[in-house]
């Protein structure tokens, strides 16, 4: 068995042990074989990874490259034990279409911040990271990486994924964790929890996605498209 084959076995073992789904494991292993098979893992450098990233960007679309880049980053971290090696995850094409101006969005976020740090953090994350309601509800503490400024999405409709945090999302989540998060069970893994100390549900998010905009005079139809509800009307109306 070659050193590369051994590394692949170790990677596969790590992925299974940490709850990655079968399809995700298949995609992660495929990405490593595709990009690092002919690379000397003992002498790999950041420049090597940067060159690989350039070639991937030439050949594939950003959304597909997100998994490839994430697979490489995780491989370098858990198998090679090289925290100095890291690729910036390509930004995906925005899934949400902004139907409000930046000023209007800021006013809605301001209204959310007056409710609680949890509500503000949820709405800020949904908007800046273009998350679905189900995705923000299923976020766990371990999915947030403040060092790389990335959020891991697991078991979504399109499989596992990685999204980039903006600085204001990171700040909102950190403030919430430091000053407000109070789980009913200390072992609770959920990132966002309700006032009862339990993981938030989709009903919680929908309610506050409606309440915050209405306090600023915007209709739910115009704002829910902007804040994670892509199937609804996109006309912006102020009452």
CA 35 to the chain's CA centroid:
23
CA 56 to the chain's CA centroid:
21
Predicted confidence band of residue 21 (pLDDT cuts 50, 70, 90): confident
Predicted confidence band of residue 77 (pLDDT cuts 50, 70, 90): very high
Q: Residues 14-23: what's their mean pLDDT?
A: 84
CB atoms within 10 A of CB 61: 11
- The pLDDT of residue 4 is above 50: yes
Q: Is 228 left (phi over 0), alpha (psi -120 to 50) or beta?
A: left
DSSP 148: T
CB of 69 closer than 8 Å to CB of 56: yes
List the CATH code of the domain at 102-226: 1.10.443.10
pLDDT at 235: 32
Predicted confidence band of residue 149 (pLDDT cuts 50, 70, 90): confident
State pTM to two decimals: 0.60
Predicted confidence band of residue 5 (pLDDT cuts 50, 70, 90): very high
Q: Which CATH number fits domain 3-78: 3.30.9, 1.10.150, 1.25.40, 3.30.420?
A: 1.10.150
Q: In what helix (H) or strand (E) does residue 33 lie, and over which residues does it extend?
A: helix 22-36
* Higher pLDDT, residue 142 or 23: 142
Distance (Å, whole) CA 15 – CA 22? 9
- The pLDDT of residue 40 is above 90: yes
List the chain domain ranges.
Answer: 3-78, 102-226
Kindly report the length of the chain: 239
pLDDT in tens, 196-238: 999 999 988 888 777 655 565 655 544 544 555 432 333 333 3
Distance (Å, whole) CA 182 – CA 197? 6
User: 102-226: same fold as 3-78?
Assistant: no
pLDDT at 145: 86
Question: Both tokens of residue 149?
Answer: 């400024």
pLDDT at 199: 95
Query: Burial level of 236, CB count in 10 A (0-12/13-18/19+)?
Result: middle
């Amino acid at each position: 068995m070659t050193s590369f084959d051994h590394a692949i076995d170790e990677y596969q073992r790590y992925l299974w042990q940490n709850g990655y789904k079968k399809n995700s494991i298949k995609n992660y292993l495929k990405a490593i074989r595709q990009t690092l098979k002919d690379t000397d893992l003992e002498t790999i450098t950041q420049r090597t990874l940067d060159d690989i990233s350039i070639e991937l960007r030439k050949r594939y679309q950003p959304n597909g490259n997100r998994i490839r880049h994430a697979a490489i980053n995780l491989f370098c971290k858990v198998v090679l034990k090289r925290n100095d090696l890291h690729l910036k995850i390509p930004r995906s094409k925005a899934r949400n279409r902004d139907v409000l101006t930046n000023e209007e969005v800021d006013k809605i976020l301001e209204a959310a911040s007056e409710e609680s740090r949890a509500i503000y953090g949820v709405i800020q994350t949904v908007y800046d990271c273009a998350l679905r309601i189900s995705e923000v509800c299923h976020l766990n503490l371990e999915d947030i990486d403040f060092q790389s400024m990335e959020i891991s999405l697991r078991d979504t409709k399109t499989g596992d994924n990685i999204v980039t945090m903006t600085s204001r999302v990171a700040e909102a989540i950190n403030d919430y964790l430091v000053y407000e998060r109070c789980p009913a069970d200390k072992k609770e893994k959920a990132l966002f929890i309700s006032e009862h100390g339990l993981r938030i549900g989709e009903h919680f998010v929908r309610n506050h996605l409606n309440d915050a905009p209405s306090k600023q005079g915007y209709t739910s139809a115009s704002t829910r498209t902007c804040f994670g509800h892509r199937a609804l009307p996109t006309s912006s109306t102020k009452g």
